[in-house]
Amino acid sequence: MNLNSKTAHELIDLLKKGEIKQEQILSDLNSQIKRVEPKIKAFAHQSENLAISNKNGVLKGIPIAIKNNICSKDELTTCSSHILEGFKPPYDATVISKLKESGALIYGKTNMDEFAFGSSCETSYYGPTHNPWDIERVPGGSSGGSAASVAADEAIWALGSDTGGSIRQPAALCGVVGLKPTYGRVSRYGLIAFASSLDQIGPFTKDVCDSALLLSIIAGHDDKDSTSADIEVGDYLGSLKKDIKGMKIAIPKEYFIKGLDSEIEKSVMDAKARLEKLGAEFKEVSLPHTKYAVAVYYILATAEASSNLARFDGVQYGFRANSAEKSEGNALLSMYKQTRGQGFGLEAKRRIILGTYVLSSGYYDAYYLRALKVRTLIKQDFDKVFKDFDCILTPTSPTPAFKIDEKSEDPLSMYLSDIYTISANLAGIPAISVPCGFTKNKLPIGLQLLAAPFKEEDLFRVAYNYEQSTEWHKMKPSI
């Protein structure tokens, strides 16, 4: 039956009817992984303790792949970094606990850019993941392994994390649905932090219905996370049943400028026309501080990263350099230097250095404090628009998937890959990417929708109505 190619909600229905068994799902997934994983390399680690679930939750028997920076008890969780080699957390992240209580099976840890530092899934210690639509191209990042595993039918669905677009951008490049919830909507407890004020866990799925279903499982307040919002979880699945007649959607002019691929612009405009036929009303707006988003993000994100990564020193867990030279007269300091020098990759080192610089004496006010002030202005731009509009429509990525190694020597060019996604993290608002077409080279194109804080129902409502009027989400790569 090729159960690995079906959505989670389809499998749940088949299980309820008794037409399939849990073992059949795992068997089909294992067969697909054996067939395509050598080409895709979506997984960093396969689960060691996989067993059929005895929990009678809504997700009983449904396997899920997990990004390699979300802790699951006694399972390798290394952030695809040498410095966390062999690390097995002694606890489950809150999202993992919720999934297990719902009966889901934790199926493996997906590859990622080291510590989520990247937009292409090329900085992993385990090597790059390949895009299922063209294995010579990147799947996007940093959650490239999660996106590729779903697109290649190696996973039914997956979890990723989004700090500046790390769910939505790879979802667009791989032709799947990717959601970044509102900051605080999903607990970050057990997520190994990149930038604590920006990180958010979210789902990769084959359709919008699965995205709504998975968010309904993992969302909610958590006492273990001080940034978790104590706000009632919405009726995400119920929102799919509503039409979009009369909904007001904004088009920000700053997102349609030089640098946007012409095929992507056309697909997004075609999607706009389709939504208009479904009853949505559009108007052009301005988000004037958008031009500062990339600069603000890479100041704040690197600053927080340099602080968060200070804990990885070879003392408590993970990799420790074997030969600690004592020539400097301080064996402990030497061990720190060698462990961090050998344990971190080039991109991680680059971001630690940048972050330490902007936080240093004499530069804090000039860079970090100023970036915080501009972040507030970016958020206020969105607040102003959402007073009059339900959603904002933009491209997800300025380009389709690029070739592996094409941008690896040009960090600035790589950083600009997230130019359309970064603002949502700075503002803390929810955003979703859904497939909206293909280039002439048969590469997926993603459409991004953004909404006001905790208005995920509006995102699902618009995304689902659009998805159901197209066939893009049903297209499969011929690996």
> What is the separation of C-alpha 208 from the centre of its chain, rounded to a whole number of angstroms?
15
Tokens 């979890």 identify what position?
Answer: 159
Token digits of residue 144 = 């490239």
Do 264 and 399 contact (CB within 8 A), yes or no?
A: yes
Q: Which residue type sits at 109?
A: K
Q: Does the N-terminal peptide bond of residue 161 adopt cis geometry, omega within 30 degrees of 0?
A: no
- Torsions phi, psi for 393 (to 5 deg): -115, 130
**Can you tell me the distance from the alpha carbon of 102 to that of 88, in angstroms, rounded to the nearest whole number?**
23
Do 209 and 237 contact (CB within 8 A), yes or no?
A: yes
Residues pairing with 438 in the sheet? 444
Which residues have CB under 8 Å from 420's CB, separation 6+? 165, 255, 394, 395, 396, 397, 398, 448
Q: Which of 81, 119, 120, 142 is catalytic?
A: 142
Q: Which of 55, 87, 91, 86 is nearest to 72 (CA)?
A: 91
Per the annotation, the verdict on 102 as an active-site residue is: no
Q: Helix or strand or coil: residue 219?
A: strand
Q: Which of 67, 98, 100, 206 is catalytic?
A: 67
Do 431 and 455 contact (CB within 8 A), yes or no?
A: no
Tokens 């009983």 identify what position?
Answer: 60
- DSSP assignment of 358-420: HHSTTTIIIIIIHHHHHHHHHHHHHHHHHTT-SEEEEES-SS-PPBTTSSTT-HHHHHGGGTT
> What is the separation of C-alpha 411 from the centre of its chain, rounded to a whole number of angstroms?
20
CB atoms within 10 A of CB 167: 33
- Rounded (10°) CA dihedral 371, 399, 212, 1: -150
Q: Which of 166, 211, 397, 423 is catalytic?
A: 166
Token digits of residue 343 = 């344990």
**Can you tell me the distance from the alpha carbon of 227 to that of 197, in angstroms, rounded to the nearest whole number?**
9
Q: Which residue type sits at 7?
A: T
Per the annotation, the verdict on 67 as an active-site residue is: yes
Per the annotation, the verdict on 241 as an active-site residue is: no
Token digits of residue 168 = 């939505």
Q: Helix or strand or coil: residue 249?
A: strand
Active site residues: 67, 142, 166
